[in-house]
A and B are shown apart, each in its own frame.
Chain A
Amino acid sequence: MKKVFVVYATDNVGTAVLEPIHTGDHVGCNGERSDLEVIALDPIAYGHKIALMDIAEGDTVLKYGLSIGTASRDIKEGEHVHAHNVESNRGRGDLAERDAVTAE
């Protein structure tokens, strides 16, 4: 079975490090969460992330046991997790501008 790497036990995403993953592949976890197994719904390239469970819109995406952003829409177990379905909560220059305008 192909394996992704999970840094921390509470993470809801894993990273493809050993080999690229194709749609329909059964995927297990190295690192933490060796109990989990998911079926890939998308191709996951080297360095990219796969959802280890369903993540609802507005939920926190966890890697290293810490927030790396918020789900911008519902993400299904096995889906590719990236900028198309995750929003940053930091360094948002666009929001800073919006907030500055609102403040005026």
Chain B
Amino acid sequence: MSNAATMRPGRPALPEWVRRLPEYLMIWVPLLLSAAHLVSFSLWTIWISFTPSTLVPVTGWVGLRNYSAVAASRNWQIAFDNLLLFGSAFVLLSAVTGLILAILLDQRIRGENVLRSIFLYPLAVSFVVTGTVWSWLLNPGLGIQKLVHDLGWTTFKFDWLIDRDMAIWTIVIAAIWQSSGFAMALFLAGLRSVDSDIIKAAQIDGAGPVRTYRRIILPSLWPITITVVVIQLQFAISTFDLVRALTNGGPGIATQLPALVVYDLMFQRSLLGRGAAAAVLMLLILLAVLLPYAAWRYIQRRRAAHA
């Protein structure tokens, strides 16, 4: 063995795999733990969703009974309707807000860095803090409504927080405040990467700024828009902390969302099977968003590779 010659005398040469054991361990243990927990945890939760488990996990098979029980419950139905409303309103409004902010910041204005920091700082704050602060501002007896009343306009009404029909919009407001900056950052990066030669050519052809935006710049932002929408949807589907701090699902169960239903079933009512079923339903909703996105990304990459 050529290696043995370089070894210090008096020591038997260790086999290759023993010498390299530390590096194998450092590479494989963390990666395997991470991969194994993802696969086994998902499969286990899916399995539990088909069992009659309540307080503790038990074996047994109840087919889709947990799913039908969850889907038939008023809690889940309201949560699902809320998710549709919250998801679409929040995603649309935060994307529009982010795009407007990005276009405004793209006008080579002074203080751009300061302004960008202002629009992004909510992302550094936890949803618990955001929810708590907005619960004060939107509380009719404490926040904006009280302020306007104290200023003399006593018929002013802004009590969405305690209004069953409007309470979900308080979550939309807080979520927009928290994450429009994220959309802005992505759009701004997109605006900055538009080929400046094309813009110049359009200007030489006599296109005004509005026309340049509408015809050339905005169409090139499509891929980024889709990314923004998918990421914000992913956030909307798993929203938990924000609602917990802002309305705690109330008034009544008016601002219930799927993540709260899962928590309620698993840890407050101890219905593990149903809780797992609700979690799997959440995963399915997420997949309904992510799979088309993954397919779209795949097609885009193939096209780019062929071009």
Tell whether A and B belong to one assembly: no
Query: Could you tell me which B residues sit within 8 Å of A by CB distance?
Result: none
Query: Could you tell me which A residues sit within 8 Å of B by CB distance?
Result: none
